[in-house]
Structure 1
Amino acid sequence: MKEMWEEFKNFAMKGNALDLAIGVIIGAAFTPIVSTLVANILMPIIGYITAGVNFSNLAIEPVEAVEIKYGLFLNAIIQFLITAVALFFLIKGINIIRRPAPAAPPPPTQSEIYLKEIRDALVKGKA
Structure 2
Amino acid sequence: MWKEFKAFALKGNVLDLAIAVIIGAAFGKIVTSLVNDIIMPIFGILFGNINLKDIKYTRGEVVLSYGVFLQTVVDFFIIAFCIFMVIKLASRFKRKEVEVVKVVEAAPAPEVALLTEIRDLLHANQTSGSK
TM-score where L is the length of structure 2: 0.63
Within 2, Cα distance between the matches of 1:27 and 1:111?
A: 52
Q: Which runs of 5+ in 2 are unaligned?
A: 122-131
How many aligned residue pairs are there? Answer: 114
Deviation track 1:58-112 (CA, whole Å, cap 9, x = no partner) reads: 111122x42111111121222233334434554663993xx78737534134342
77, 82, 96: which is aligned to 1:81? 77
In structure 2, relative to structure 1, the CA distance for the partners of 1:90 and 1:69 (3 Å cut) is: same
Within 2, Cα distance between the matches of 1:15 and 1:88?
A: 24
In structure 2, relative to structure 1, the CA distance for the partners of 1:6 and 1:80 (3 Å cut) is: farther
Within 2, Cα distance between the matches of 1:21 and 1:86?
A: 21
- Matched to 2:40, the amino acid is M
**Identity of paired residues, percent?**
40
- Matched to 1:47, the amino acid is G
**How many angstroms does 1:31 deviate by?**
2.9
- Matched to 2:25, the amino acid is A
Q: Which runs of 5+ in 1 are unaligned?
A: 117-127
Give the superposed CA RMSD: 3.5
- Matched to 2:42, the amino acid is I
Name the SS of the counterpart of 1:102 in structure 2.
helix
Name the SS of the counterpart of 1:52 in structure 2.
coil
Q: Could you tell me which residue of structure 2 aligns to residue 12 of structure 1? A: 9
Within 2, Cα distance between the matches of 1:85 and 1:10?
A: 36
Name the SS of the counterpart of 1:53 in structure 2.
coil
